[in-house]
Amino acid sequence: MRTLYQTMYCPRCRKVRIALAEKKQEFTVVEEDTWNLRDEFLRINLAGTVPVLVDPRSDETNDSVTVVGSATIIEYLDEVYEGTTLLPGSVKGRAEVRRLQSWFDDKFAQEVSSRLIFEKMERRALNLGPPDMEVIRAALEHIHYHMELIGFLTEHRRWLAGDELSAADLAAAAHLSILDYMGDVPWHKYEAAKDWYVRIKSRPSFRPLLSDRIMGMHPARHYDDLDF
Amino acid sequence: MRTLYQTMYCPRCRKVRIALAEKKQEFTVVEEDTWNLRDEFLRINLAGTVPVLVDPRSDETNDSVTVVGSATIIEYLDEVYEGTTLLPGSVKGRAEVRRLQSWFDDKFAQEVSSRLIFEKMERRALNLGPPDMEVIRAALEHIHYHMELIGFLTEHRRWLAGDELSAADLAAAAHLSILDYMGDVPWHKYEAAKDWYVRIKSRPSFRPLLSDRIMGMHPARHYDDLDF
């Protein structure tokens, strides 16, 4: 069976879960607390990071294949499986999807989501004391610029990277979904971004995320409401 | 003409320079000090990061294509140009190259190269005071683990990700090249890693890097010596 090693609140892992569902591929989840540096997991991925997909299917042999890192998993899924296309057919289109995927997985993560997740979730899990309110305030200020970008893109295109849904939408929605869980997305100020998010949130592939419940933290009231 | 926006000491930019040379594609370099947030550059890449490749060639139109980010540029070059294959033909092989490329561009950068570059080069350029010796010491300690990995891989494979040179080798060598400029690579302890680096360093694609001279800092004595 296909296995995804992940952490529930990790946005890149959430992106991979949506992608697997868009590809209609079933998988078992292993919840991995990466800070435990579990020996068995380090043998699967020496870097100790999630997500990691172990897939019994591979192209030329019957070996299973271990795919490390969310961008690499996205490329892998599109190379191997039918279903929703995550990266479009044109060279230019793929470059645009990869640019925006990295925008959210790297830049948005660094400026907003990783900070909020660390301060509000990981600190508690790791017993690292109370959240740093200055860091939270800065992250919540940075979010506006990114919401404006989403608004701008979706006013000019049907989806973030073009006319079709792509890995760029999955990445952005995955990051926003965990912030939405914490009640940190200022939806009321960004109608176009909200419309786009409602469209993604309504997809069957997104549903399993909406039933996630993170230990010690209730979701915001509208988190699993498709019509918030 | 093809244009690469880059910073001379940025390892991911160096990787792209080697890749372009392996593809036998000429290019003009624009040296971009990203902290200046130059308007014209932000219009090319809103994220304000390097490398960015602006290529007049594209697949289906005669428009130029703007490719942002080093991993995306690597994918693009392999999709569009003949020459050295940067990502191998098999699904499993590509996943392995992408894993190791990210190992160096993300993990090695975070633990070693970005820190040393910031402390030894950027602090001076930005007038941010003397280097933090604690950070430098920690980075220099972390490097050993990565050198062991390179040694381990090259004892089992001809190149880092398999029998053929790939983007994984380019990424690793690019990071090490800038550390080597600063004289920070403990080659004498890692014979296998050194043998591998000598092989890359001798390739014509690597030569232009060896004539780089970074303002205010002389290279280590063996930096441009192919037989160090």
Domains of chain B: 3-80 (3.40.30.10), 91-210 (1.20.1050.10)
Tell me the C-alpha distance between A73 and A93, whole Å. Answer: 19
Q: Considering chain A, what is the average pLDDT of its residues? A: 95
Q: Pick from B141, B143, B118, B144: which is nearest to B131 by CA?
A: B118
Q: Give the pair of three-digit tokens for residue B214.
A: 């970074």
Give me the mean pLDDT over the A66-90 stretch. Answer: 97
* Total number of residues shown for chain A: 228
A63 contacts B102? CB cut-off 8 A = no
pLDDT confidence tier of residue A46, bands split at 50, 70 and 90: very high
The answer to whether residues A13 and A164 touch, using CB atoms and an 8 Å cutoff, is no
B37 at the A interface (CB within 8 A)? Answer: no
Give the gyration radius of chain B's Cα atoms: 17
At B53, give phi and psi (nearest 5°): -110, 125
Percentage of chain A lying above the pLDDT 90 cut: 92
A107 contacts B47? CB cut-off 8 A = yes
Residue A63 pLDDT > 80, yes or no? no
pLDDT confidence tier of residue A60, bands split at 50, 70 and 90: low
Residue A135 pLDDT > 60, yes or no? yes
At B90, give phi and psi (nearest 5°): -90, 145
A62 at the B interface (CB within 8 A)? Answer: no
A-chain CB neighbours of B63 within 8 Å are: 92
- Token look-up 């969310």 returns A70
The ipTM, to two decimals, is 0.96
Provide the 3-class DSSP secondary structure of residue A67: strand
Within 8 A by CB and 6+ apart from A221, the residues are: A183
Tell me the C-alpha distance between B196 and B198, whole Å. Answer: 6
A-chain CB neighbours of B149 within 8 Å are: 46
B-chain CB neighbours of A67 within 8 Å are: 95, 99
Tell me the C-alpha distance between B216 and B17, whole Å. Answer: 22
Residue in chain B closest to A63 (alpha carbons) equals B92
Tell me the C-alpha distance between B161 and A131, whole Å. Answer: 41
Within 8 A by CB and 6+ apart from B124, the residues are: B216
For the beta sheet containing A28-31, the strands, ordered from the edge strand earlier in sequence to the opposite edge, are A28-31, A3-6, A52-55, A65-68
B102 contacts A69? CB cut-off 8 A = yes
Element (H, E) at B135: helix B133-156
A-chain CB neighbours of B66 within 8 Å are: 95
Smallest CA–CA separation between A130 and chain B, in Å?
Answer: 25
Element (H, E) at B207: helix B207-210
B-chain CB neighbours of A58 within 8 Å are: 91-92
Residue in chain A closest to B102 (alpha carbons) equals A69
What is the full per-residue pLDDT of chain B (228 aa) written as tens digits? 899 999 999 999 999 999 999 999 999 999 999 999 999 999 999 999 999 999 997 555 567 899 999 999 999 999 999 999 999 999 999 999 999 999 999 999 999 999 999 999 999 989 999 999 999 999 999 999 999 999 999 999 999 999 999 999 999 999 999 999 999 999 999 999 999 999 999 999 999 999 999 988 999 999 999 888
The answer to whether residues B13 and B6 touch, using CB atoms and an 8 Å cutoff, is yes
Pseudo-torsion of CA B200, B205, B206, B210, nearest 10°?
A: 150
* Total number of residues shown for chain B: 228
The answer to whether residues A12 and A70 touch, using CB atoms and an 8 Å cutoff, is yes
A76 at the B interface (CB within 8 A)? Answer: yes
**What pLDDT, on a 0 to 100 scale, did the predictor assign at position B62?**
66
Give residues 163 to 182 of B whose Cβ lies within 8 Å of A: none
Give me the mean pLDDT over the A139-156 stretch. Answer: 97
The answer to whether residues B37 and A37 touch, using CB atoms and an 8 Å cutoff, is no
Residue type, A185: V
Range list of H helices, chain A? 11-22, 39-44, 70-80, 91-102, 114-117, 123-125, 133-156, 167-181, 191-201, 207-210
Element (H, E) at B173: helix B167-181
At A5, give phi and psi (nearest 5°): -85, 125
Cis peptide before A51 (omega within 30 of 0): yes
Rounded to 10 deg, the angle between the B70-80 and B91-102 helix axes is: 150
pLDDT confidence tier of residue A215, bands split at 50, 70 and 90: confident
The pTM for the full model equals 0.96
Tell me the C-alpha distance between A202 and A172, whole Å. Answer: 15
Residue in chain B closest to A68 (alpha carbons) equals B99
Element (H, E) at A30: strand A28-31
Q: Give the pair of three-digit tokens for residue B150.
A: 């390179």
**What pLDDT, on a 0 to 100 scale, did the predictor assign at position A58?**
52
**What pLDDT, on a 0 to 100 scale, did the predictor assign at position A216?**
84
Interface test with A, best of B79, B81, B92 (most A CBs within 10 A): B92
Residue type, A93: G
Element (H, E) at B43: helix B39-44
A60 at the B interface (CB within 8 A)? Answer: yes
A-chain CB neighbours of B81 within 8 Å are: none
